[in-house]
Amino acid sequence: MRARQAFRRLLTRTKYSLAKPLDRTSIRGEDWSFLENFDDLADLAKFDFQIETLYRSGSKNTKLIRAGHYDRKSYAAFRKFDGLFSNKYRILICIPWLRVGGAERVAANLAAALRHLYGPGSVAVLVLDFTADQIRKQYRNEPAADLWFPPDVPVFDMTETLTLERDQRLAALAKLLLGIAPQFIVNVNSKTMWDCFLEYGRQLASQINLVGCLFCNDRDSNDGPIGYATSYFRETLTTLSFVITDQTAFISELASRFNLIPSEYSKLKCLYQPVAAPKSTSDSARFERLRKPNSYRRQVLWTGRLTRQKNPELLLQIASRSPHCDFHVFGVGQLPNGRPPGNLHYHGPFERFDDIETEAFDAFLYTSRWDGLPNVLLEAAAHRLPIIAQVTGGIGEIVSEATGWPVPATSNADDFSTILRQACFEFEQQRGPARISAMSELIGTRHSFETFCLTLGMIFGSRDFDHVDHQHHHRQ
């Protein structure tokens, strides 16, 4: 009997063992007898992590029947999610939490596009890393991001399983995923799923196509690279079908940093995120204000999390050097210690960019120390705001001399203030209307939902997904 055939029979039985964990003695029946004489552990270990554990331990003569004995506590915690078996989900999207952030927006975009491509009932979202209580304690008054997901894409909150011991939880989750056997697992910033890819990737990849999403490195206090790309990319790349990022700059960075060979480089896919155009927008009022004399105070918008990455300290320095502008800050967090300048106004968190009355502002300022290609820049561009942004990460792929007012990555507050003044007080001389038109053209083509779906379909359609008999599996 071929190893793959043996594993498919094991996989089918796993579906029922999740709902009712079985004692070792109760599975010595006829259905499992074929395993008793299966000697090729080295081959079958490629397809089941529990069998691989036996093989690595040197117990090569151990009966494979032991692979059917699971930890009762772990599987009891996952029993309520047996509903995942009732639908033929083609894609499972894994996220760490439900928050209003860039990664959650990416997950919502993926869910909407994949549902559009493959139909209702094809996509589900798994929340794996942080409970709602943990989020509320750390980020008070922050809205949940489930409002972004399509209403017919179910969101399964599996964070109550966090009470399990880590290794048992990962093992149970991996077995659950093998039992469901979707065609794709797409990981959008879930540490739990990265750990699962790291420890059980070979077994999962034998039946499921694994997809990782990476956007940029984070930075430690010494500005050294940290984050999922640093911790997991190299170790999991061999088992990943492909890696999705939202800009080409990070692909180049990964290729250079990890010295990728062509077969590895080919797994890296750029998927520019879509952004919806606002219901109504007009340049006339803003352009009229930007043509006014210098005595008119320009209104500058800044949005984002008030964290070290987004660099609110630099924002305060720019505001202090720009007395003829008023700065309006929207976002979660607190302004840096100290007294903010009188021309800076904090308005608190927001749910959607569309909730901000962007037509009241004359320019958009972005000060991030490091980044990928942030969604908030795409939204500001869709609202036709003149953008002044530091060119770091993938920001240069949206903000250039043709489309906005880029600021070199090594710039200080004085440099920012100079370029801000050019955008706000020399708008006509700086070809401001032409830059706004060029940005709108870029947003309407490369960042449209139609282009996003087309690119995503080409990426996912490039794989041969027929190595699992899904129709047979879901009939069981």
Domain co-membership, 382 together with 323: yes
Q: Is residue 279 part of a domain?
A: no
Domain co-membership, 142 together with 249: yes
Domain co-membership, 16 together with 132: no
Last residue of a domain, one of 70, 92, 113: 70
Higher pLDDT, 33 or 445: 445
The answer to whether residue 420 scores a pLDDT higher than 80 is yes
**CATH code of the domain covering residue 171:** 3.40.50.2000
Higher pLDDT, 467 or 393: 393
- Report the range of poorest mean pLDDT among 81-90, 298-307, 309-318, 459-468: 459-468
Give the separation between CA 342 and CA 338, rounded to whole angstroms: 12
Nearest to 457 by CA among 132, 117, 219: 117
Domain co-membership, 398 together with 294: yes
What residues pair up with 211 in beta bridges, in sequence order? 186, 242
Higher pLDDT, 121 or 59: 121
Last residue of a domain, one of 44, 70, 96: 70
Q: Count the domains in the chain.
A: 3
Which tokens go with 282?
């007009």
Burial class of residue 117, CB neighbours in 10 A (0-12, 13-18, 19+): middle
- Report the range of poorest mean pLDDT among 41-50, 64-73, 99-108: 64-73
The answer to whether residue 29 scores a pLDDT higher than 90 is no
For 170-203, letters b (16+ CB in 10 Å) and e give bbbbbbbbbbbbbbbbbbbbbbbbbbbbebbbeb
**What are the φ and ψ backbone dihedral angles of 306, each rounded to 5 degrees?**
-85, 75
3-state secondary structure of 394: coil
For range 412-436, the mean pLDDT: 96
Distance between alpha carbon 315 and the CA centroid of its chain, in Å?
A: 27
Last residue of a domain, one of 70, 94, 126: 70
The answer to whether residue 38 scores a pLDDT higher than 50 is no
Task: Provide the 8-state DSSP code for 306.
Answer: B
The answer to whether residue 122 scores a pLDDT higher than 90 is yes
Higher pLDDT, 462 or 394: 394
The answer to whether residue 445 scores a pLDDT higher than 70 is yes
Q: How far is CA 232 from CA 197, 221, 228, 304, in A?
A: 9, 20, 5, 27
The confidence score (pLDDT) of residue 407 equals: 96
Tell me the per-residue pLDDT of 210-252, one tens digit each, with 9 for 90 and over. 999 999 988 888 878 888 999 999 999 999 999 999 999 999 9
The answer to whether residue 37 scores a pLDDT higher than 70 is no
The confidence score (pLDDT) of residue 337 equals: 82
The confidence score (pLDDT) of residue 385 equals: 96
Residue 319: band (very low, low, confident or very high) from pLDDT cuts 50, 70, 90: very high
For range 76-83, the mean pLDDT: 72
The answer to whether residue 43 scores a pLDDT higher than 60 is no
Which tokens go with 144?
């949940």
How many percent of the chain have pLDDT more than 70?
A: 78
Domain co-membership, 180 together with 329: no
For range 188-216, the mean pLDDT: 94
- Report the range of poorest mean pLDDT among 28-42, 134-148, 234-248: 28-42
Give the separation between CA 315 and CA 325, rounded to whole angstroms: 12
Give the separation between CA 404 and CA 431, rounded to whole angstroms: 10
- The residue range of the domain holding 238 is 74-274+452-475
Q: Taking a C-beta distance cutoff of 8 angstroms, is the pair 168, 72 a contact?
A: no
Domain co-membership, 48 together with 165: no
Q: Is residue 126 part of a domain?
A: yes
Higher pLDDT, 338 or 244: 244
Mean pLDDT of the chain: 82
The answer to whether residue 203 scores a pLDDT higher than 90 is no
Residue 75: band (very low, low, confident or very high) from pLDDT cuts 50, 70, 90: low
